[in-house]
Structure 1
Amino acid sequence: MTPFWVAGRPCDGPTAVEVRGPWDGGLAGVTSYASAAQVEGAVAAAWESRHLDVPAHVRADALDHVSRSLTTRAEEVAALVTAESGKPITWAMAEVARAAATFRWGAEEARRFSGSMQRLDTDAASTGRVALIRRVPRGPVLGITPFNFPVNLVAHKLAPAIAVGAPVIIKPAPATPLSALLLGSLLAETDLPGGLWSILPVPNESAPALAADVRLPLVSFTGSDSVGHAIRDANPAKHIVLELGGNAAVIVCPDWTDLDHAADRIARFGTYQAGQSCVSVQRVYAHRSVYALLRSLLADRLAALPVGDPRSAATHVGPLIDTAAADRITGWIDAAVAAGATLVTGGGRDGTTVAPTLLTDVPPTCALVTEEAFGPVLVLTPYDTFDEAVTLVNASRYGLQAGVFTHDMRVVAASADLEVGGVVIGDVPTYRADQMPYGGVKDSGTGREGVAAAMDDLTEPRVTVLTGWRL
């Protein structure tokens, strides 16, 4: 049985949990849920550790160790990700590489995380005074992570918290706890004080009470907007960081001549890991002059994508996380067709696997346009002017990232009107570098991931005024 981690110590709980992969139901591993007493032990240890002065070199060295270990053990970790989540092994390897980079960025940021000095003698009454401005942790952090990136999204909670010296408790997704627990085994090999971190598998119904604990003043949640909003609304006095996903859009402009490249990127990143990414391409807006050709190219690309066993290096599209997710996606496809949409390709299903799908003529009120599909489905719509395309993108209640295929600098300037947290020019919205600020607006959340940006969210400025000092 794989242990979980309470204040840096391996523990087993009273309730065993079998973790089975969505591809064939194979057993990925066995762990257990933490008991109420074990959860209390983790929270109490985090609270007691909130003023620990852990030197930057200890924090940085620990993060470096995890980064190096992930690189050394990449195939093993990726195989675990594939076993429990069904993510194709190629994408699992890419995720492990990103997680190693995320921890490496955490180590680098920990070494340069410093305060600033501000002169105050700009006013005669403040002659001889300077201000030392430091950023200090807001307090212990509760990080709640989803199933779709079971290593890297845990890394995006752990690395910033450790970098700033904030105690952190991770609640991994019940479907994919094993990857997070493996990260715990790597942290246990370091010199970090145990009270600084815990990784606790608990049922989702236990999360509200954990999020409400006053000893955890900061909650960082990645997942569905309904759950994220519920956490925010139930805890108005807390600092809540939410990364809630979206229905990412891409605009293909008439000046973009390499439609083959655009089609390749859109098909690839509308369906990678079965579309289970919050910036997976979902809505495609093509200028009417390129619409017909792009539709043909996308249909060909999607039909050719390898679908099947996620353990095969050839597989691009694997299963969805469970049967309920596959039911929802195929139900939305059927509803769109019933409402007048044209099914260009795909739409089929085998167990938990949904074929890469392209639809056109989808009414704007359909769920495939208004909601986050989180599946391998693309909706293609024509537009006539860039202003119209911007209006279509902004009509969504989400606003995470958008992509624009263009070389026109006037369009690049106008892309600032897109109501999203990030715009990617010349590529799909799926692009993300793990060091950059990443997050959205509207129902896509509040706050930012990306190690340095997250460190700002986890801390607040504290000012010390020094009297009788010369700058």
Structure 2
Amino acid sequence: MSLRQRPVSPIWVGGRPQHGEDEFLVTHPWNDAPVGATSWATQGQVETAIRAAHSIAPEFAATSAYDRAAALEYMRRRIEEEAETLAELISAESGKPILWSRIEVARAASTFRWAAEEVRRMSGEVQRLDTDASGLGRLAYTRRFPRGPVLGITPFNFPLNLVAHKVAPALAAGCPIVVKPAPSTPLAALQLASFFSETKLPHEAFSVLPASVELTKRMVADARLPLVSFTGSVPVGHEIQHAVPDKHVTLELGGNAAALVCADYSQLDWAVERIATFGNYQAGQSCISVQRVFVESPIFEEVKKKLVTAVKALRTGDPFDPTTQVGPLIDVRSAHRVHEWVQEAIAAGAECLIGGDEPAGAELAPTVLTHVPRETRVVGDEVFGPVLILEEVANLTEGLAAVNDSKFGLQAGVFTDNIATAMRAHRDLEVGGVIVGDVPSFRADQMPYGGMKNSGVGREGVRSAIEDYTSERVLVMPDVF
């Protein structure tokens, strides 16, 4: 694909396309070529968007399930119609290989499909109260009602689908939403807003505002946005949480996901292929990328040999080459940070099995380390780069303890053929999700998704997010029975 500068994309303020005062370029991480441009929202445009969301909230909450579902289905259809264009846009602004960008687009379409289906199921719950003498003749009907407008703050690594995971549940719940996308990858979110403008829902209910840090803080603090849904780094997430303790805040803050390969597992080639691929598939820039790998002693040497071979075979290079599996990091600074962490670990005594090279621009060779001291950052923090830490454990008990030895707890993968081991992992692992027979990177967009410890609070996944964006209200009726 020949990267050419696109027209300046408008921002969306209260459902209307506008331009801010200061334009900025969006560049391709692979070669720093311009791939588009948009503008920073002004303080006045931020105020207009918030006021529009606040003002339209009662009307939007009263829209019918039919209208919301129809709009969500329309957006799904538009995503599918523009699938290849969107995939190219994602690869252009994020550097994600086109292979993975196409998958992201398909997932975003599914996210809107699930939201449309959930709207149709939001019928509430009926409970008879004459199960106790004090409730004779009474019936309780419980429904969920929207909490109000949402501020959705999204990261760069999934420029379309993580925006979809804020927007689709909000629209399904009847909540207006203001999205603040990552400044390095705003274009897919802006395109999504244009699709919404074609629906019959009140256009004031959706804004997309590339905004400065200062204006973002003002949006977080604004009482007219009572919900904040943030996906990003731990320090920023905690800053938001502490800044607005009276708001309903959901945080997805990432982790250093682990995979445990048990000696009873019979499909080692599958395990190794999945670990190699999903430790590196977005240059490691996914909060559930495999980072730590623990292998039981009887199979450790075999897995180590296979893993190095599998990582070596990964195709790196131009994101628009359909055979590329590992592209660049989001920028040169990130590549140098990850390389610094790797060199720190090697200096502390780690053995580098493959990789460890100096970055070439924003590209960093996939790296596997072993015998890594616990206190190094590549073990204790979120690398967010193409680095795997491979370590030997004596048995299942030691392996589960090693997985839990982390300040994060998003998801973990356990490769085992033993149902009892799977159930024990589910019981003992301090994570939001345990994936059996696969890597922690597996995510179905309809399932609950979120973490424990420093990995955040609340759950995404369409139904779970709708529950976060709504609150229960009970109606008690007399003389029913």
The interval holding the TM-score normalised by the smaller chain is: over 0.9
Partner SS, residue 353 of structure 1: coil
In the alignment, is residue 357 of structure 1 matched against residue 364 of structure 2?
Answer: no
Q: 2:449 aligns with which of 408, 414, 438?
A: 438
Q: Deviations over 1:108-160 (max 9, x none)?
A: 11111121122122233332222221101111110000000000000000000
Per the normalisation by structure 1, the TM-score is 0.98
- 1:341 corresponds to: 350
Letter in 1 for 2:263: P
Task: Count how many residue pairs are aligned between Structure 1 and Structure 2.
Answer: 470
In the alignment, is residue 73 of structure 1 matched against residue 82 of structure 2?
Answer: yes
Counterparts of 1:344 and 1:397, CA distance in 2:
26
Deviation at 1:421, TM superposition (A): 0.3
- 2:303 corresponds to: 294
Q: Deviations over 1:170-199 (max 9, x none)?
A: 110011000000000111110010121111
Question: Is the 2:20–2:39 contact (alpha carbons within 8 Å) kept by the matching residues of 1?
Answer: yes
- 1:465 corresponds to: 476
In the alignment, is residue 36 of structure 1 matched against residue 46 of structure 2?
Answer: no
Matches within 5 A, 1:310-459: 310-348=319-357, 349-415=359-425, 416-459=427-470
Deviation at 1:462, TM superposition (A): 0.8
Deviation at 1:257, TM superposition (A): 2.6
Matches within 5 A, 1:105-184: 105-184=114-193
- 1:47 corresponds to: 54
In the alignment, is residue 276 of structure 1 matched against residue 285 of structure 2?
Answer: yes
Partner SS, residue 359 of structure 1: strand
Letter in 2 for 1:100: A
Question: Is the 2:314–2:325 contact (alpha carbons within 8 Å) kept by the matching residues of 1?
Answer: yes
Deviation at 1:258, TM superposition (A): 2.3
List structure 1 segments (4+ residues) > 3 angstroms apart after TM superposition: none
Partner SS, residue 26 of structure 2: strand
Q: 1:88 aligns with which of 97, 117, 125?
A: 97
Deviation at 1:294, TM superposition (A): 0.9
Counterparts of 1:467 and 1:4, CA distance in 2:
51
Counterparts of 1:57 and 1:344, CA distance in 2:
56
Question: Is the 2:50–2:224 contact (alpha carbons within 8 Å) kept by the matching residues of 1?
Answer: yes
Q: Deviations over 1:231-257 (max 9, x none)?
A: 001111011100000000000000113
Q: 1:11 aligns with which of 18, 25, 28?
A: 18
- 2:266 corresponds to: 257
Question: Is the 1:174–1:204 contact (alpha carbons within 8 Å) kept by the matching residues of 2?
Answer: no
- 1:212 corresponds to: 221
Deviation at 1:6, TM superposition (A): 1.3
Counterparts of 1:18 and 1:82, CA distance in 2:
15
Letter in 1 for 2:413: G
Partner SS, residue 37 of structure 2: strand
Q: 1:230 aligns with which of 224, 239, 248?
A: 239
Deviation at 1:324, TM superposition (A): 1.5
Q: Deviations over 1:62-94 (max 9, x none)?
A: 111111111111110000001100000000000
Q: 1:303 aligns with which of 296, 312, 329?
A: 312
Query: Identity of counterpart residues, as a percentage?
Result: 53
Structure 2 segments unaligned to the other structure (5+ residues): 1-7
Question: Is the 2:297–2:395 contact (alpha carbons within 8 Å) kept by the matching residues of 1?
Answer: no
Deviation at 1:204, TM superposition (A): 3.0
Structure 1 segments unaligned to the other structure (5+ residues): none
Letter in 1 for 2:475: T
Letter in 1 for 2:282: Q
Partner SS, residue 89 of structure 2: helix
Counterparts of 1:465 and 1:332, CA distance in 2:
59
Question: Is the 2:196–2:203 contact (alpha carbons within 8 Å) kept by the matching residues of 1?
Answer: no
Q: Deviations over 1:259-317 (max 9, x none)?
A: 21111110000000101000000000001111111111111111111111101101111
The alignment yields a C-alpha RMSD, in angstroms, of 0.9
Q: Deviations over 1:387-419 (max 9, x none)?
A: 111111111000000001100122112102010
Per the normalisation by structure 2, the TM-score is 0.96
Deviation at 1:422, TM superposition (A): 0.3
